[in-house]
A and B are shown apart, each in its own frame.
Chain A
């Protein structure tokens, strides 16, 4: 089954490489994601998961890898469910 977070990132990040070639720890900015594309990733995740990234998460560190984005979405979804 396809990883939904990877599907969103692949669709919105405009990467230079296939997302299947990246591990959860690879740097998305080094893989071609621009800062404007990172905004698209944020908007896509917010739309798909009905969440909103708070200011404390609007950093390159959060958007740097698939893993950090996965953790952020999980935290926000947990918060929404609580």
Chain B
């Protein structure tokens, strides 16, 4: 997605955009919304994660997918709410997410592993 889309939403809806889409931790990571590139990357990663767990048609609050760097700097996914139930139903035990960021465009890919994958 275009970083400009996140920037425009932030300019227009301000804290409402932040509060309805991102977790408190994600907002903090974006320097309280000043880093639009991070917000766009985070949104793209949330979308990729939802697709990876098969949650494309069910009602989902985007804040149920949290994307934050772990201690090593790698992006980590933390699910909550209905996303946990969806992932458990699908037998998903691990989700890896990667984000590519250029000056104005971000792209994300997420891979969900099931218990079957681990046995292979």
Contacts and interface: CB of A to CB of B under 8 A. Distances in A.
Overall SS of chain B's interface: helix
Given A39-B21, A46-B16, A61 B57 contact: yes
Contacts of A28: none
Contacts, number: 48
Nearest to B50: A35
A56 B13 CA distance: 22
Task: Give the interface centre of A37, A39, A62 by most chain B CB atoms within 10 Å.
Answer: A39
A43 B6 CA distance: 13
Interface residues of A, number: 19
Contacts of B43: 36
Given A55-B59, A58-B61, A59-B57, A39 B9 contact: yes
Interface in B1-47: 1, 5-6, 9, 12-13, 16-17, 20-21, 43, 47
A46 B16 CA distance: 10
Tell me the interface secondary structure of chain A in the complex: helix
A21 to B, nearest CB: 23
A42 B59 contact: no
Interface string A43-72: 110110000000111111110000000000
Interface string A13-36: 000000000000000000000111
A68 B16 CA distance: 23
Contacts of B59: 55-59, 62
B96 interface: no
A43 B1 contact: no
A62 B58 CA distance: 10
A43 B9 contact: yes
Contact of B13 (A36, A47, A61): A47
B79 to A, nearest CB: 14
B100 interface: no
Contacts of A36: 1, 5-6, 9, 43
